[in-house]
Structure formats: structure tokens, C-alpha cells
Copies of this chain bind each other. A is one copy, B any other.
Amino acid sequence: MTTPHLLVVPVGSSPDVAPLRELADVRVAHPHDPDLPDALATAEGLVVWDGFDVAVERAWETARPQALRWVHTSSAGPDRLLFPALRAHPSRLTCSRGILDADIAEYVLACVLAFLKDLTTTVRRQDEHRWQHRLTRSLAGRRALVVGAGSIGTRTAQLFSALGVDVDGVVRSARPAAPPFGALFGPDALPDVVGDYDLVLVAAPLSPATRGLVGAQVVQRMRPGAVVVNVGRGPVVDEDALLAALRAGRLGGVALDVWSTEPLPADSPWWDTPGALVSPHLAGDSEGFTGRLELLLHEQVRRFAAGQELLHVVDKEHGYAITSTVAP
């Protein structure tokens, strides 16, 4: 067993690196630390934690890392790390697949129920001290389409299915479906089938194949009153088309937790659009999620130091981990 050189770059918060020091020679450098290129030049493993900073890409260009064999991100979706030099580098990239699935699925359900039960209006009427009876809508018996049936999408489908919703999915290419999915379509079918669903739940990673997948034509063909939730990545949907459809009264609600530009600018028209639910990329961030991300990191470092197979290796071409391995 070797003791590899591990560089940890805390972009937002920092992981607890103390337990990692028993497994690796750990160095910590923040994105704007002048030592970052130096540290990267000799690192064998790189951990980018809690977000991404373009300073990492710039340091990479300076450092031209030779010894690097592994890069890990605390994100479920590795899209922001996939800058050209990293994509071309022979090191393996792993992501934190699976950790956030259950919480994100619950969040999608929370948003859908908030619209169907009109809780967003309830909160606003409450602030006006106004008792105003309204009719609500049922969830059971509805039809849902999950766009992106990976680990988050599958968990989402399981929850909705357990509540009496018929769920189909959209995946990289059409294939025979198994529960919780009734059918699995390829992306090309999306414009033709989207009108059959009351709920369109987007949980796709960002990749060349998913960018703009829920585009203007798809939005136009949605069922009147459809509810849309995006917990994948902002650029997977056409935000302008959704906004226009919502403002035209053609949709029953749009909840976006991820955005093309984050944070959403204060002058965005989304904030004030009736039927929009604007949240700050928090769907998966539940109390305790950092601990679970750290456990996965520890297991990855243990495997890396022991020369064992890593979990959740990203297919750099497709832009996400296609392993179905569940995190320890």
C-alpha cells in the first residue's frame, strides 16, 4: 500500500480531512491559494469539494499535472469539472453519485405537491391574513415523465409510483422498461410523448446530449396545466420557453432548483412569475448530507490508496457515472 499525494480543493466548505490523513499525504489548497498550481503539479489525487471554481481550470493549465491519476468531485453531476484539459487527461474522474438521490426525489415530490395542493398560494394568503377556500388537485392517478432516469430519476420514479402515479422515463436510448418505469423512451421521442403527462420531472445530468433537451418544442407540446420540476441542471431545459408558457397560463407550475445562471440574478423575471417556484439549488442538501459525502470520499481515498477499483467513475464522453454501484 502506497501513500498517495492527495490535493483537496475546498471551493465552498471544506471536508474533514483528518480521517484522510491516515490513508494519504493530504494537502489542502483553496482555489485562490497561490500554491494551487504547485500542489496540483505533484498531486496523484485531486478532490474538488462543494462546487467548482474556474481557478482550478487555470491552475491546471499552469501545472500540467503529470502524476495525477484520479479526480473526485462532491457533486452528483460532474459537468462543471469537465473542462477540456481535464476531459482530455488520462486520470479517472469520479463523482458523488447516489448520495443525494433520496433527498432530491423527496424534494421533487414536495414541489409537485406544493403545486397540486396550492401551498404556494396558501403561504401568500396567510401573509395577508386571508382565509380563502380553493380547490386542490389529486396526485394519485396522474401520469409522470421522468427525464433522465439515472439514480436520482429512478429514486424519484419509485416515490411517485408508490403514491399511485404512473411513471415513464426518458433515457439515453429507448429500452425495455422495468418498475418503477412503465416505459423508457429515447430523447427523440420526447416531443411526441410529452403531451401525455401531467408531471414532467427533469433529473438529467448536463451533457452534450441533454443540453436543451426540454426545448421550446417540447414545452409547447406539454399538456395544459402540466407541472414541471427541474433538479438536474439548468441548461437541460429552455428556461425562456418555460417562462413564456407559464406566463401564458399554459402550465400548472414550474419549480426550478437549478439554473443556467446561479445564483439567479435578482432582476430575473422568474422571481415574480405566478406559478413559478424558485429555489437556490438546495434539493439534495439535507442536514447530514455532508457527512454522507465525506464517508464516500473516505471510501474512495481508501480504494485509491489500496489500488482498488473506484466508485462512480464518470464516463467523460457522456458526462456522468454510468456505474450502478451504490455508494457504501
Hey, which bits of chain A sit against chain B, CB under 8 A?
102-103, 106-107, 109-111, 113-114, 116-117, 119-120, 122-127, 129-140, 159, 162-164, 262-264, 266-268, 271-272, 276-283, 285-289
Contact = CB atoms under 8 A, between A and B. Distances in A.
21 contacts: A106-B116, A106-B117, A106-B139, A106-B140, A106-B163, A107-B117, A107-B136, A120-B123, A129-B271, A131-B263, A134-B280, A134-B282, A135-B287, A135-B289, A136-B282, A136-B286, A138-B286, A138-B288, A162-B162, A162-B163, A163-B163
* Most chain B beta carbons < 10 A, residue from A131, A264, A277: A131
Contacts of A281: 133
Contacts of A139: 106
A128 to B, nearest CB: 8
User: For the complex formed by this chain, how many copies does it contain in all?
Assistant: 2
A288 B40 CA distance: 62
A135 B286 contact: yes
Contact of A138 (B106, B130, B159): B106
Contacts of A286: 135-138
A278 B109 CA distance: 21
A122 B279 contact: yes
Nearest to A117: B110
A24 B121 CA distance: 42
A167 B122 CA distance: 27
Nearest to A119: B114
A195 to B, nearest CB: 20
A124 B126 contact: no
Residue among A117, A163, A164 facing the most chain B CB atoms (10 A cut-off):
A117
